[in-house]
A and B are shown apart, each in its own frame.
Chain A
Amino acid sequence: MFKKKLTFKILLLLIFSDILETSIQFFFKKSALAQNGFVVMDLASAAVFLKAAFASPFLWAGLIAVAAVFIIWSGILSKIDLSVAVPIASFSYILVPLVSIIFLHEKITVLRWTGIFFILAGVVLVSLSSKERIIQEK
């Protein structure tokens, strides 16, 4: 039916949706931090918490990003296998540490570098496996 080929364009879309996914976490964290120390005890205080959260522009930015990720992700799924799309989306595990190094000047331990290397190797292998299938079909 569809050509299930992992093209460079789809790879870029996947990375873009990973970046959006990361920014969603950032936005939601920001909107929650705005009410630092707030304890949700019962339904009434949960309502107050939600009301304050929805007043934060960060929450709305996060929700817009959620909608964008949904559109991009379903577009991606219409073009490639699920068993390729999901592993490659794990790229965000690499993206977040990179952002922490570059923008937050965090130190990354050797163990973490090893983990990043394993994920990267895994993503490369899964991407190659998608190409391999195309060659077999030809």
Chain B
Amino acid sequence: MKEGLLVILSLIALTSVCDTINQLFLKTAVDSLSFSPSFNIIKIFKFIFQLIIKPRLWLGFVFSVISLCIWLLVLSKAELNFAFSADSMHYIFIALASRFVLKEKVTSLRWLGTGLIVVGIVLISLS
């Protein structure tokens, strides 16, 4: 029983890591573009076209497919409540990745807010 729990937790951690990698690829792909879109159809199309020819975006897409497959595996083994609250750890991974990979300035206020969200998600899935 305890071993099973550990396996499921590791699988959930793995999906969270894959999701985080996907977001990192998307974010760096978007940041590498020379402009950001405004409310203008032509500009939005130009933005999307420039974005979908980035190989990094497709790498991220591969990771999101992997994440989905592992998630389906997790759901077949664990209760949704538990899986859902454990998955909230990806907010922590995103904050860490933003801080160390993207060099964003994650202030203590932002950490506190992220922590509260994780607590809230765990509470919601408990009820």
Please determine whether A74 and B51 come into contact, CB atoms closer than 8 angstroms. yes
A78 touches B (CB below 8 Å):
yes
Option from B110, B119, B125, B127 in Cβ contact (under 8 Å) with A84: B110
Q: Which chain B positions have C-beta within 8 A of A125?
A: 109-110, 112-113, 116
Q: Which chain A positions have C-beta within 8 A of B120?
A: 90, 93, 114-122
- Interface residues of chain B: helix, strand, loop or mixed (majority): helix
Q: Which chain B positions have C-beta within 8 A of A79?
A: 36
- A interface residue count range (under 10 / 10 to 19 / 20 to 34 / 35 or more): 35 or more
Q: Which chain A positions have C-beta within 8 A of B98?
A: 81-83
Please determine whether B48 and A71 come into contact, CB atoms closer than 8 angstroms. yes
Please determine whether B126 and A77 come into contact, CB atoms closer than 8 angstroms. no
State A65–B29 Cα separation when bound (angstroms). 22
B69 touches A (CB below 8 Å):
no
B15 touches A (CB below 8 Å):
no
B2 touches A (CB below 8 Å):
no
Closest Cβ of chain A to B46, distance in Å, is: 12
Q: Which chain B positions have C-beta within 8 A of A36?
A: none
A-B pairs with beta carbons under 8 A, tally: 134
Closest Cβ of chain B to A54, distance in Å, is: 18
Per-residue contact bits, chain A 100-138, to B (CB 8 Å; 1 contact, 0 not) = 000000000101101111111111111111101100000
A75 touches B (CB below 8 Å):
yes
Q: How many residues on B have C-beta within 8 angstroms of the other chain's C-beta atoms?
A: 43
In this complex, what residue of A is CB-closest to B36? A78
A86 touches B (CB below 8 Å):
yes
Per-residue contact bits, chain B 56-95, to A (CB 8 Å; 1 contact, 0 not) = 0000000000000000000000000000000000010011
Please determine whether B36 and A83 come into contact, CB atoms closer than 8 angstroms. no
- From known contacts A86-B23, A112-B124, A115-B124, infer whether A123 and B117 are also in contact, taking CB-CB under 8 Å: yes
Q: Which chain B positions have C-beta within 8 A of A93?
A: 120-121, 124
Please determine whether B94 and A111 come into contact, CB atoms closer than 8 angstroms. no
